[in-house]
Amino acid sequence: MDADLLSKLDPQRFPNMSLPMAAILGFVLERQFTTPALADVQVTPDGHVLGWSSEEDGVGHSMHLGVEADLRANLSRLGMAAGLDQKEWTRFAAMVRSRLGIELGELAAGAGGS
């Protein structure tokens, strides 16, 4: 994993990031940003986002984390706020697609770093 990308997306840089968003981001980036971490995240056919804890007490119990449209928008805004350049955005979007099955699309014009 690219250290610059991890550094730019580190939840500590975003003090208003919710714990569920930090947990989802940890799942996407395969890092633990919360305790417990998420062992799995799935988007249901009707667009709800469910997560399963990595803690033994939570095994088998899903948590409703929101809806796909909101998560897509929040992940896109995070990438813009983090100042991802085109290469980093492409990598981040590929990880989101691979781990969550969500398409982020292109980096917004004027967004991102140099």
Question: Which residues 6+ apart lie within 8 Å of 94 measured at CB?
Answer: none
Lowest mean pLDDT among 40-49, 65-74, 102-111: 102-111
Query: What mean pLDDT is reported for the chain?
Result: 91
Question: Which residues 6+ apart lie within 8 Å of 90 measured at CB?
Answer: 107
Lowest mean pLDDT among 29-43, 51-65, 95-109: 51-65
Does residue 105 form part of some domain?
Answer: no
65 by Cβ neighbours in 10 Å (0-12 / 13-18 / 19+) ranks as buried
Write down the pLDDT at residue 113.
55
Write down the pLDDT at residue 36.
87
How many domains does the chain fold into?
Answer: 1
Write down the pLDDT at residue 25.
98
Does residue 112 form part of some domain?
Answer: no
pTM of the model: 0.89
Does residue 107 form part of some domain?
Answer: no
Domain holding 73, by residue range, is: 3-100
Rounded Cα gap, residues 20 and 52, in angstroms: 11
> Residues 78-102: what's their mean pLDDT?
96
Does residue 113 form part of some domain?
Answer: no
Query: Percent of the chain beyond pLDDT 70?
Result: 89
Determine the distance from the C-alpha atom of residue 10 to the mean position of all C-alpha atoms in its chain, rounded to a whole number.
Answer: 11
